[in-house]
């Protein structure tokens, strides 16, 4: 089922916010809409959005690839996105990410064996002075965690695992 078939009123409401000649400005809202159910934007969603906005799928894919809030691959329930931009790297973010991945037995971009957590490397979360830091994305929104250590991160992941078990 296409996005237009799934969410006709919602799409109409989003498009109404922009003059017809600037409907491309609705791209972020439509991407968010496409992503919210499954946690990622699939190929058909990109085609649907491109059609609705008179854009190419390449343009849509470029936007998805640029922003750390959009995803084109399925992942764990929680995405831990570690900033490794130069400011954070100077405060140890690269080593932090390597050590965290080693403890979790994953590489950046991979998901833990329980399917709960995906570790991702991202650029610039605007908190270089508080690195190592990351944001956790989930259906509950985004939460920043600053001045982290591998141990405090593992404690957080254990709390997420506990919450996930209790929610079942």
Q: pLDDT digits over 122-163, tens only?
A: 988 889 899 999 999 887 788 999 999 999 999 999 999 998
pLDDT for 140 equals: 77
pLDDT for 45 equals: 95
- Ligand-binding annotation for 88, yes or no, is yes
- Ligand-binding annotation for 124, yes or no, is yes
Which of helix, strand or coil describes residue 116?
coil
- Interatomic CA distance for residues 22 and 20, integer angstroms: 5
- Ligand-binding annotation for 101, yes or no, is no
pLDDT for 165 equals: 83
Q: What is the average pLDDT across 93-110?
A: 96
Is the torsion defined by CA of 35, 39, 40, 42 positive or negative? Answer: negative
- Interatomic CA distance for residues 90 and 155, integer angstroms: 24
Contact, 91 vs 82, CB < 8 A? no
- With tokens 């908190």, the residue in question is 127
Length of the chain: 168
Q: pLDDT digits over 74-97, tens only?
A: 899 999 999 999 999 999 999 999
Q: Inform me whether the pLDDT recorded for 23 exceeds 80.
A: yes
- Interatomic CA distance for residues 39 and 102, integer angstroms: 25
Contact, 154 vs 119, CB < 8 A? no
Which sequence spans correspond to the domains of the chain?
Answer: 3-66, 78-167
Contact, 37 vs 81, CB < 8 A? no
Q: pLDDT digits over 43-67, tens only?
A: 999 999 999 999 999 999 999 999 8
Count of CA atoms in the C-beta half-sphere (13 A) of 133: 21
CATH assignment of 3-66? 1.10.10.1590
Q: Inform me whether the pLDDT recorded for 35 exceeds 80.
A: yes
- In CATH terms, the fold of domain 78-167 is Glutaredoxin (3.40.30)
pLDDT for 55 equals: 97
């Amino acid at each position: 089922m296409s996005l237009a078939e799934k969410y006709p009123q919602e799409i109409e409401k989003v498009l109404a916010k922009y003059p017809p000649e600037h409907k491309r400005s609705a791209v972020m809202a439509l991407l968010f809409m496409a992503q919210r159910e499954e946690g990622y934007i699939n190929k058909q969603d990109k085609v649907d959005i491109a059609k609705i906005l008179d854009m190419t799928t390449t343009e849509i894919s470029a936007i998805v690839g640029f922003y750390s809030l959009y995803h084109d691959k399925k992942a764990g329930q929680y995405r831990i996105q570690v900033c490794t931009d130069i400011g954070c790297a100077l405060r140890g973010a690269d080593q932090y990410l390597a050590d965290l991945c080693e403890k979790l037995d994953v590489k950046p971009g991979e998901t833990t064996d329980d399917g709960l957590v995906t570790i991702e490397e991202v650029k610039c979360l605007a908190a270089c002075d508080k690195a190592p830091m990351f944001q956790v994305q989930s259906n509950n929104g985004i939460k920043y965690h600053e001045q982290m250590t591998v141990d405090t991160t593992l404690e957080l992941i254990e709390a997420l695992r506990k919450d996930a078990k209790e929610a079942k």
